[in-house]
Structure 1
Amino acid sequence: MKPRSLMFTLYGEYIQYYGGEIWVGSLIQLMNRFGVSESSVRGAILRMVQNHLLRVRKIGNKSYYSVTEQGGRRVEDGVKRVYAAPSPLWDGKWRILMYSFPEEKRELRNEIRKELSWTGFGMISNSTWVSPNPLEDQVRQMIKNYHIEDYTMLFSSATVVSHSNQYVIDKGWDLQHISDEYDRFIQQYEPKFDELREKALNNSLTDEECFIERTQIVHEYRKFLFQDPGFPRDLLPENWSGTKARELFWNIHQLISIPAVRFFESIFEHAPDQEIDPERNKAINPFKEVYV
């Protein structure tokens, strides 16, 4: 696991429900369970602070870290997309973002491409990205955050005159490749589910093991956010592998969440001046009300 990506997983799965701030010593202990050294943790933290994703607060000789507004948006968006159920029906509209950046803003253009890909847009030409999902507010916020109003234009359209909707989908995304990746996830985690269920029945699962397994499966499943655009169900192929992968992910998550959170609580240390209302049920089962 890359330290930065693992930190986003830890903030999204646990830390945000415990005041959103954690002592660096606790973070080091948690990440050490995944083979990340203290020096790697501190190096990743430094880079994330420099990139305005984390902020630090000093109390005495201890440092406590929380996500910035920018980092928080990434955490919140990731958690919602992991746990929220896909829309069953398409509203029939394409959201189309076009941009034109001068050469001196090439790095900014590359950053916008990463943001759009993360959000679920597909590129149908070098400067045109589309999505069937209702992402207007999110895109407008991105445009505002990057101050690129003069370089972008956002449309929505219910009609593609020259081509079919399926042509647009095939142009913007490789759904077969995504389906193959889901199949690999299923092949990896079906035996793991059987193993964990057997241990649970025998009462031989430890809290630490559950924490490691939950964090790892969320970390692996989050990778699909960079590939799967999260189409409405009526735009997906029949027997879409993502549906089975999602059910498998949820079954494992439910099986091990309570002991996983218990282990996190045994390591977590918040700032002494911080009142903690952990909303423990959400840490165990975030966004349950929208997941089916």
Structure 2
Amino acid sequence: MSDSLLRPSSLINTVYGAFLRRLGGWISIADLIVLMGELDVEGPAVRSAISRLKKKGVLEPERQGVNGYRLSPAVHEVFDEGDRRIFGSLEPADLADGWVMAVFSVPESERAYRYQLRTRLTWLGFGNMAPGVWLAPGRLLDDARGALVRLGLSEYAHLFTSQYAAFSDLRESVSSWWDFPAIQAQYAAFTDTYGPVAQRLVQEHVLDDTEAFRHYVPLLTQWRRLPYLDPGLPKELLPPDWNAIAARQLFQQLRAALAGPSLRHVRTVTGLDELPTADGTAL
């Protein structure tokens, strides 16, 4: 498992995204340090990560009797988009639904925007067909439009919806536009790490809330990158040994077992309650 995926700031993002948004979006520094300590992150590292997230505009300081931090309203949309991508449909796209194509041309004097566009399109799961031409399954159109507008990059790009007509073998071409071995290596790392956790659940049937939290936060932190690296290409275009299916099933199994107990643990530590929905039930 990559250490960069599980750095303190990434784990804190997961705690806010998976739990604290459901509990009002705020936590005291003391309680956050307790939770992060259960993930083997020491207090000084927590404070350094909070400082970085504050500078990035992810967290805002807010005192509620004690010092704490709230998730910035500016990133709510980003977290909502992440929920759709991470927890939404895990099935491959339908080939008949077509593609979204991004085309951009950036003046040399503004080449920094060129780098930002490449980075963002890669993060969204686009494959690079040619210089300035990127492709993804059509269902990613809204995500791409929203991200480019939010980042102030929309004036440099054009988005098209399309169907493939001719002339090459599309399956062969797609394998050169996306780095399949790298994606499969990430899925394999996830399965190797968390397959034993699932096996233990089968054998023991239950983990206590604290242990569930200790497993679920790193699991979700590692997983949330994968639905972006892998755009969910149509199954007709994937290698026959594509290992994403088994990894997705593993993620779904572990999420079903661990998410609820993990939330209970966060509530126990913080004393926070879930926000009510419009019908009066908890989120």
TM-score exceeds 0.5 = yes
Corresponding residue for residue 77 of structure 2: 73
Would you say the 8 A contact 1:3–1:44 is kept in 2? yes
SS at 2:224 equivalent? helix
| 1:208 and 2:207 matched | no
Match of 2:265 among 235, 254, 263: 263
**In structure 2, how many angstroms separate the alpha carbons of the residues matched to 1:83 and 1:6?**
18
Q: CA RMSD in A?
A: 2.7
Would you say the 8 A contact 1:24–1:65 is kept in 2? no
| 1:4 and 2:3 matched | no
Shift of residue 97, structure 1, vs aligned partner = 0.8
Q: Deviations over 1:4-49 (max 9, x none)?
A: 2112211221111112222222222211222222222222222222
| 1:173 and 2:175 matched | no
Corresponding residue for residue 289 of structure 1: none
**In structure 2, how many angstroms separate the alpha carbons of the residues matched to 1:161 and 1:137?**
26
Corresponding residue for residue 82 of structure 1: 86
**In structure 2, how many angstroms separate the alpha carbons of the residues matched to 1:145 and 1:258?**
32
Shift of residue 178, structure 1, vs aligned partner = 1.9
Shift of residue 59, structure 1, vs aligned partner = 3.5
Would you say the 8 A contact 1:96–1:129 is kept in 2? yes
Q: Deviations over 1:236-282 (max 9, x none)?
A: 33353111111112222222333222211111255xxx994389875
Worse overlay, 86-95 or 120-129: 86-95
Shift of residue 130, structure 1, vs aligned partner = 0.8
* Residue identity in the other structure for 2:86: V
| 1:46 and 2:48 matched | no
Equivalent positions of 1:124-203 (< 5 A) are 124-200=129-205
Worse overlay, 28-37 or 79-88: 79-88
Equivalent positions of 1:267-278 (< 5 A) are 267-270=269-272, 276-277=275-276
SS at 1:230 equivalent? coil
Distance 1:24 1:180, change over 3 A: same
* Residue identity in the other structure for 1:48: L
| 1:116 and 2:115 matched | no
Would you say the 8 A contact 1:9–1:215 is kept in 2? yes
Aligned sequence identity (%): 27
In the superposition, the TM-score normalised over structure 1's length comes to 0.82
- Number of aligned positions between the proteins: 275
Would you say the 8 A contact 1:17–1:280 is kept in 2? no
Would you say the 8 A contact 1:182–1:242 is kept in 2? yes
* Residue identity in the other structure for 1:98: V
